[in-house]
Amino acid sequence: MKAANLGVLFLIELGALAGAAYWGFTRDVATPLAWLLGLAAPALLIVLWALFGARKARYPLHGAARVGFEALWFGAGALALLAAGDTGGAVTLAVLVVVSKSLAFKWGQ
């Protein structure tokens, strides 16, 4: 069960990135700007994760700062889906994040 949760944790990270990309690509703007937003939004999340969230982050966060960062980071993915009109996807991502992160905390992952 713990190994499966690690897989789910990885998939929800990808889901947050996909949500940000989906938001950007679905904006009602000129096509080049939609492409820019669709690529820049997940790129920004990747940079933030690399700086603060990854195992080998340059500025690793701990305790409440880590919880706050992850809430904002995953929340951004869910909010991007919501802003793009995918309410079901946003709710699904949010629920998966809460359940999986709660289990990870309980199991020390």
Distance CA 6, CA 59 (A): 22
pTM above 0.95, yes or no: no
Domain coordinates in residue numbering, the chain: 2-107
pLDDT of residue 109: 86
- For the record, the structure tokens of 103 come out as 């289990």
Residues of the chain under the 50 pLDDT cut: none
pLDDT of residue 48: 98
